A = this chain, B = another copy of it.
């Protein structure tokens, strides 16, 4: 835990916590979820709140809090502490602030901040997931060894920019920018499922993992430009011949359900990731997402993990085929608010806040 967070929490009026996040990514869902659980909410924005919030009254936080610069949020920590702010981080929150700033933020933060170190470094992410027993795409170290198509990912590439496909060594040489570090994995051909998990160390109902319980609240597929619609014009190879490069930039999400019999493996994967996270760095809790491909043998290959709420949950603001079997209409945003409330009731905020 960041130094002093316990002390900050001790000073909080825990009956009046404010769920706080940046106005982006899944923020309207998070604020809507807070409202459904009668909790307060604060939306952090640069200079002024995005105008589009005005169109979505149920997605508006109780209060907007504006800052001048994302790098500078920590200067506002004392003022936000006054408002009993508990940060719910999203991918945007971390990206905008920068991981280092985020890790040092003097505000109680839902989830384990130490996970960042294992998630943002592709090498450590792989170490975590592989040692947990998950199957991942094979890594190719030497471009001469490319036998089947590979996807090459430059370090730090965001939202799918900076990826490319190489069919063979020649293709690789033609496309690679040697000045940038990269990793290279086999390109998995199969159906993609992004699984929205939620792990509660507090709840003793349900699918038990360690002392808590594991849920699946939804599944989506990311929709990426231009790769997901490129086929309307031609094959990837044909497009490259026309001078159009495939890109993997996420622009949206599509709802999807898995074959019911795959749920066994889905929960086993979730369980392994959590168990291993406690051994490695004190645990993964709250929402997270395994990004998977299902092969023709009905096996999951995991190509990435997101250790917090993913934007694909936005589809399910009024429930999903999975969440509706937990509580009709439940969203991940609302589940987060429930968890924080439960921690207050059990006097265990320390167990879910860092």
Interface residues of A (CB under 8 A from B): 24-28, 32, 50-52, 54-59, 92, 148-149, 161, 165, 167, 187, 189-193, 205-208, 213-216, 219, 221, 223-239, 242-244, 246-247, 249-264, 266-267, 293-296, 298, 311, 314-319, 321-322, 324-329
Contact = CB atoms under 8 A, between A and B. Distances in A.
Given A27-B260, A251-B259, A311-B259, A189 B149 contact: no
Given A252-B259, A258-B251, A223 B28 contact: no
A51 B230 contact: no
A18 to B, nearest CB: 19
Nearest to A239: B189
A59 B242 CA distance: 48
A257 B227 contact: no
A267 to B, nearest CB: 5
B148 A230 contact: no
Contacts of A251: 190-191, 193, 258-259, 262, 294, 298
Contacts of A228: 191, 232
Contacts of A252: 191, 193, 219, 256-259, 294
B206 A57 contact: yes
B257 A295 contact: no
B314 A318 contact: no
Given A165-B233, A225-B296, A231-B231, 6 more contacts: A55-B216, A149-B234, A191-B251, A232-B236, A232-B246, A260-B311
